């Protein structure tokens, strides 16, 4: 079942509505809550979704190792890197605002293709070492594409059998991309120095494969949706634009959306702040060599990858609420080790273990959200959750950059401790998942 074809929550359907539909439509309504069985076509779509997350991971995972080269190449301070994070946030915000409208006009494949093309364009703008203004703008374009593709890939994956496992898979692919990225970015940047931006040629190649993967896997849904006739016969029924606004309004009224968004706000703030600033921290505070510590984020993302693969099932079986709280406590302990033990090897080890226990937080949070959100607003609700996550992932690294410009990168550690505490506290506020047939 495609994400855009997802019907409204069956709890709100009345018998009269079913009687007014065709026999096929009634059957679709009756079976709408059943997970989509796995088939070759569905598995191909899952693999395409997983690869899109791999591409997103390589994009995000490269920023940390490249920040020192950006600072020196463009001759700017750490506060200027905050512009990149701010541009990324605006891109995610626009993607979230456009989600409801896109659902009214485009089928799933078309939406995913647009997101993939935007990411490809952004990397084409980067590899030739453009002026800083254009370079920062490319992050806006990239985040807009990621916001569109990631949201609807998550929505699609949440409809298949064993969704929690497949969500773990696609988010593990993100971590794998972030793991691979430093091993490609650091050698290119350290050997070419002034031509460090040539790393983005690698991302252009991945972007082409991403676009082709979407066009092949979702070829049956790459289309503009025809305007549906009103079943009530009312010629004055609201248009698609008004329906999109109504759907967004319904999403904004849901308390659970804002509570879960708060958790993601702090969660992604932890992950991106740690991954983005750890290299500069180890160089400036721990006095490590840039060519060596540039690989450190790979330990974080390697832990993320293994955590999402290995912890998804036990987290699901032993209960998401208690397990996520346990992970938050362990993460806090590892962060304190990272802060208080002045040894680069110990820091890298603690960061890798932190990534392992941090890994399942995002996919399990998405899985919980898909069970708490009504089906009628699931795509737009996930889009809002992701933009709030990206808000944290943009805001806190930006704050770190601004403070570090005057107080030094050592402020990274107390900021991370505060974010981890806030993340665990916000998870306590998330409602319990009710027993639902889907």
CA distance 208 to 143: 17
pLDDT tens digits, 185-231: 888 888 776 788 889 999 999 999 999 999 999 998 888 887 654 44
| Stretch 96-120: mean pLDDT | 88
User: pLDDT value at position 228?
Assistant: 58
CA distance 355 to 395: 20
**Percentage of the chain modeled with pLDDT above 90:** 27
**Percentage of the chain modeled with pLDDT above 70:** 85
Distances in Å between the Cα of 349 and the Cα atoms of 296, 299, 369 are 9, 8, 32
pLDDT tens digits, 239-272: 566 666 666 677 777 788 888 889 999 998 998 8
CA distance 124 to 142: 11
pLDDT tens digits, 107-117: 889 999 999 99
Q: Which of the two residues, 75 and 418, has the higher pLDDT score? A: 418
Q: Which of the two residues, 181 and 26, has the higher pLDDT score? A: 181
Q: Which of the two residues, 200 and 276, has the higher pLDDT score? A: 200
pLDDT tens digits, 365-384: 888 887 888 777 776 777 77
> pLDDT band at residue 353, thresholds of 50, 70 and 90?
very high
> pLDDT band at residue 67, thresholds of 50, 70 and 90?
confident
CB 297 within 8 A of CB 180: no
From the list 163, 92, 149, 14, the residue with the least C-alpha distance to 389 is 92
Q: Which CATH superfamily is domain 39-227+241-429 in?
A: MFS general substrate transporter like domains (1.20.1250.20)
Mean pLDDT of the chain: 80
| Stretch 386-408: mean pLDDT | 81
pTM: 0.76
CA distance 299 to 52: 22
User: pLDDT value at position 186?
Assistant: 83
> pLDDT band at residue 238, thresholds of 50, 70 and 90?
low
User: pLDDT value at position 1?
Assistant: 34
| Stretch 127-152: mean pLDDT | 89
DSSP letter for each residue of 167-231: HHHHHHHHHHHHHHHHHHHHHHHHHHGGGGGGHHHHHHHHHHHHHHHHHHHTGGG-SBPPPPPPT
Distances in Å between the Cα of 396 and the Cα atoms of 283, 404, 418 are 20, 12, 11
pLDDT tens digits, 151-167: 888 888 878 888 878 88
Distances in Å between the Cα of 278 and the Cα atoms of 156, 339, 353 are 34, 11, 15
CA distance 89 to 95: 10
CA distance 30 to 378: 18
Q: Which of 45-54, 69-78, 392-401 has the highest mean pLDDT?
A: 45-54
Q: Please report, for the chain, the start and end positions of each structural domain, with discontinuous segments joined by +.
A: 39-227+241-429
User: pLDDT value at position 233?
Assistant: 46
CA distance 399 to 95: 23
CA distance 196 to 185: 8
The set of residues, in sequence order, having a beta carbon less than 8 Å from that of 251 and lying 6+ positions away, is 100, 257, 377, 380, 381, 384
Position of tokens 């773990």? 168
Q: Which of the two residues, 131 and 100, has the higher pLDDT score? A: 131
Look at residue 39 and tell me whether its pLDDT is greater than 90. Answer: no
Q: Read off φ and ψ for residue 362, nearest 5 degrees.
A: -70, -55
| Stretch 410-417: mean pLDDT | 91
CA distance 429 to 162: 26
User: pLDDT value at position 356?
Assistant: 94
Least confident of 39-43, 48-52, 372-376, 397-401: 372-376
| Stretch 373-398: mean pLDDT | 77
pLDDT tens digits, 15-38: 333 333 333 333 333 334 577 777
| Stretch 329-343: mean pLDDT | 92
């Amino acid at each position: 079942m495609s994400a855009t074809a997802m019907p409204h929550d069956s709890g709100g359907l009345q018998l009269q509505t079913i009687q007014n539909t065709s026999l096929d439509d009634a059957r679709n309504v009756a079976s709408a809550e059943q997970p989509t069985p796995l088939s070759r076509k569905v598995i191909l779509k899952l693999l395409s979704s997983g690869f899109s997350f791999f591409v997103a991971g390589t994009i995000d995972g490269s920023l940390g190792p490249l920040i020192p080269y950006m600072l020196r190449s463009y001759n700017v301070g750490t506060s200027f890197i905050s512009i990149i994070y701010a541009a990324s946030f605006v891109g995610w915000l626009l993607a979230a605002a456009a989600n409801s409208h896109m659902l009214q006009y485009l089928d799933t494949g078309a939406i995913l293709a647009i997101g993939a093309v935007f990411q490809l364009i952004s990397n084409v703008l980067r590899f030739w070492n453009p002026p800083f203004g254009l370079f920062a703008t490319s992050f806006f374009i990239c985040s807009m594409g990621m916001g569109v593709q990631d949201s609807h890939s998550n929505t699609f994956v949440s409809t298949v059998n064993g969704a929690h496992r497949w969500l773990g898979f696609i988010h593990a692919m993100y971590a794998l991309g972030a793991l691979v990225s430093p091993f490609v970015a650091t050698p290119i940047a350290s050997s070419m120095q002034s031509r460090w931006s040539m790393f983005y040629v690698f991302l252009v190649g991945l972007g082409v494969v991403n676009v082709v993967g979407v066009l092949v896997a979702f070829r049956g849904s790459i289309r503009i949706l025809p305007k549906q006739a009103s079943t009530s016969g009312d010629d004055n029924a609201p248009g698609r634009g008004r329906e999109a606004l109504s759907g967004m309004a319904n999403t904004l009224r849901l308390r659970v959306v804002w509570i879960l968004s708060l958790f993601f706000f702090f969660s992604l703030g932890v992950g991106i702040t740690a991954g983005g600033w750890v290299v500069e921290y180890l160089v400036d505070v721990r006095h490590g060599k840039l060519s060596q510590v540039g690989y450190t984020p790979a330990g974080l993302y390697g832990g993320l990858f293994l955590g999402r693969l290995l912890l998804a099932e036990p987290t699901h079986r032993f209960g998401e609420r208690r397990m996520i709280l346990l992970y938050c406590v362990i993460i806090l302990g590892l962060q304190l080790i990272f802060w208080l033990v002045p040894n680069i090897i110990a820091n890298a080890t603690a960061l890798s273990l932190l990534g392992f226990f941090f890994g399942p937080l995002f996919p399990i949070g998405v899985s919980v959200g898909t069970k708490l959100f009504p089906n009628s607003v699931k795509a737009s609700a996930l889009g809002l959750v992701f933009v709030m996550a990206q808000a944290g992932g943009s805001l806190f690294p930006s704050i770190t950059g601004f403070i570090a410009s005057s107080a030094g990168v050592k402020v990274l550690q107390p900021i991370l401790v505060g974010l981890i505490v806030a993340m665990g506290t916000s998870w306590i506020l998330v409602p319990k998942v009710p027993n639902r047939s889907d």
